Structure 1
């Protein structure tokens, strides 16, 4: 194997070995943890075996070092391939002319069809700027023993969901557990309620600062949210709990449901009875869009070996490659023709995301960081004191105007 692992974050200062001769493909990676490092190592070795005229030079960074370094070398001495994230984090570099459009890779490999659910999160003004490598689902995880005890079925509509909540409450259970101490869990509720109320295009326009937070359609999202708050369906004192601490009521049989990402599932005890369902439909005229945080692969605009870089992107997009990669990562392949691991939650997630009408990333990945920080404060405040909605939206609109001017 010709793969060379060169750098860690401590070697950033000695980095700029990225320019290379023809036939050498330089990749900068943030996949330095043991499992992703091994999974990507196999994929890159396979790529070299399938492309003997290309030698890969791999530079590895820890996560935090990578976030700092990428902003520097994209404008100075970029590699040929970088790993990054979809949504607003990608758009930040696209807007500054630092990522290469790769719509031709999408067209040549029929990716509009096989990556339909992630296309929007990889696109800016109709052009695609990378390839999705891996993602995971969000949805509602529930205690199936409690559902069985009460004769409850997985709800698919808002009315059914409200009935499930009320039945749980009437029988002494907390319907929905949540910990908003660190704010981002409340953003998950905003995302889903807004996607189900107003759809993906509206949601992305709001994330891009194109729609006022005082818009009546945003208020409609909060009105739906308030139904759950006023009915007392959320865990009491949730602002005191982290997301990990909020797992306890679900696991010990005190709460029925938890809206969370699939990273929750390793906490389920061996032999326990938990299950998953898609966030219910609110408006039948609005598509079923999902939050699916996505890790991606990109070509810097100033890369020196774009031809081989496009070959690598096309390789990563292949269904069999995505299957192998995500088996190693224990996550989901964005390619609709790929296969998920032999895990009930991964299988459910793959089915759901493959059929989704489109995907968002997550509130703090989809909007400007300054907007996200204030937005998540506002969401938590609303859950604690919904009567302050007017003041919250006025403040968020003030922040939007400042951030997106």
Structure 2
């Protein structure tokens, strides 16, 4: 009888132990598919699993463009526990549809309102926070210093200087600007900067919020400035055939001299170009207009229909920690959103940090600041303009119809 009791107790204890050591699964879907982000997140996931041995992370990686489409399907059907996404209106769109979890408790419990003060507005809807940001970065013009030196070109500070530099490069059979607009958003970077420099941040945000017609004379002025680069052929030929990654080799092999891009490009610079790559702020167009910058913020969120929200919260809290933000951004060569984390000392990053600190304000990015339906049509129009600048009137009329329909 004692043997039976002991055996029963042993079986019960084994069952309890088995249950306690059985790993809980945390499913994460990510679009951090470039080499530096892949390395950064592999390290973070490894650290998280070591700190939480009872949790097994299933980390699913997707390419950027397919991710933007499929995330919409996951969120309404069978979502993972954590998703990578973006701040600003891109986040708000899912919040408004009830697809992202309110994580204000994480912000409160981890002193994030103070430590993430500069990031908080882009993560907040109606006083509540809906995700955790892990990085942001500057945009600007990356260029070949050796090519500039060869042709006696200094870093342009003004619009006229940029146009003069472009003309000289083209005269010497160098394409002034490489760009790949196959996936449209790179053209939006040009629109953002031209509009910010032509009309200022307040006007830009009003346009993003649907409060200004696309047929407004001030918007037309932005495109008139853009045409001063498009019509002389200062952009890479056949750019609509290339992704942003596929447009990089033209810069690296010397066929092109400049690239308007985010700082996430810098880990891709070839070793043989060490010391030959430079960075400058998008030049002044109107001295009366403040120097605002694009500084997009990347984020993590918990879908409202996630199955394992408890462990998802643990992961978001883990990523918010200063030491982990620092690790991620050292590998990405970007800027931590936690004010207690330090940005890596790097020539490009040092310039970016200083530039953003002295800016007259920041925008997220065209497709993160405006409604998704408007962004989709807007970016189509930008790409079309870069190929057929003569169609500008029809393009703006079409965008205005989209704005009127979208922002009723």
TM-score interval, normalised by the smaller of the two chains? 0.7 to 0.9
Q: Any residues of structure 2 matched to 1:311-390 within 5 Å, and which? A: 312-329=315-332, 331-341=334-344, 343-353=346-356, 356-390=359-393
Distance 2:206 2:388 in 1: 27
Q: 1:318 to 1:301 in 2, by over 3 A?
A: same
**Equivalence for 1:16:** none
**In structure 1, what is the equivalent of residue 301 of structure 2?**
298
**Change in 2 beyond 3 A, CA 1:185/1:251:** same
Match for residue 284 of structure 2 among 268, 273, 281: 281
1:60 counterpart SS class: strand
- Rate the CA distance shift 1:245–1:316 in 2: closer, same or farther, 3 A: closer
Give the 3-state SS of the residue equivalent to 2:134 in structure 1. strand
Contact 1:178 1:234 in 2 (8 A): no
The 5 Å alignment of 1:6-405 reads: 26=26, 28-30=28-30, 36=37, 39-40=40-41, 42-43=43-44, 46=47, 56=55, 58-63=57-62, 71=72, 74=75, 81-102=82-103, 106=107, 115=116, 118-125=119-126, 127-169=128-170, 173-230=174-231, 232=232, 234-235=234-235, 237-239=237-239, 241-242=241-242, 243=244, 246-265=247-266, 266-268=268-270, 270-272=272-274, 273-284=276-287, 286-301=289-304, 312-329=315-332, 331-341=334-344, 343-353=346-356, 356-405=359-408
Higher mean displacement: 371-380 or 29-38: 29-38
Q: CA deviation at 1:153?
A: 2.9
Q: TM-score with structure 1 length normalisation?
A: 0.74
Shift of 1:298: 2.3
Bigger shift: 264-273 or 73-82?
Answer: 73-82
2 CA distance for matches of 1:222 and 1:181?
A: 20
Gap change, CA 1:125 and 1:214, over 3 Å in 2:
farther
Alpha-carbon separation, structure 2, partners of 1:69 and 1:169: 41
Aligned residues: 380
Larger radius of gyration: 2
Deviations 1:218-269 (A, max 9, x none): 2232132223335x26136344652455445533444432212335442445
Deviations 1:307-336 (A, max 9, x none): 876665454233322111233445442335
Alignment CA distance shift 1:79-1:189 (3 Å): closer
Q: Structure 1, residues 255-286: CA drift from partner, whole Å, max 9, x if none?
A: 43221233544244514512111212334554
- Answer whether contact 2:174 2:255 (CA < 8 A) is retained: yes
User: Gaps (5+ residues) in structure 2?
Assistant: 1-23
CA distance, structure 2, for counterparts of residue 148 and residue 85 of structure 1: 38
Q: Distance in 1 between matches of 2:180 and 2:73?
A: 36
How far off is 1:126 after superposition?
5.4
Partners in 1 of 2:286 and 2:404 — Cα distance? 29
Deviation digits for residues 338-387 of structure 1 (CA, Å, limit 9, x no counterpart): 33446433444444445555444433444444433332232133223333
Which TM-score applies when normalising by structure 2? Answer: 0.74
| Structure 1 position 130, deviation (Å) | 1.8
Aligned partners of 1:121 and 1:359 also within 8 Å: no
Gaps of 5+ in 1: 1-23
- Give me the whole-angstrom Cα distance separating, in 2, the residues matched to 1:271 and 1:291: 26
SS in 1 for 2:272: coil
Q: 1:235 to 1:74 in 2, by over 3 A?
A: closer
Moved more, 61-70 or 172-181: 61-70
**C-alpha distance 388-303 of structure 1, shift in aligned 2 (>3 A):** closer
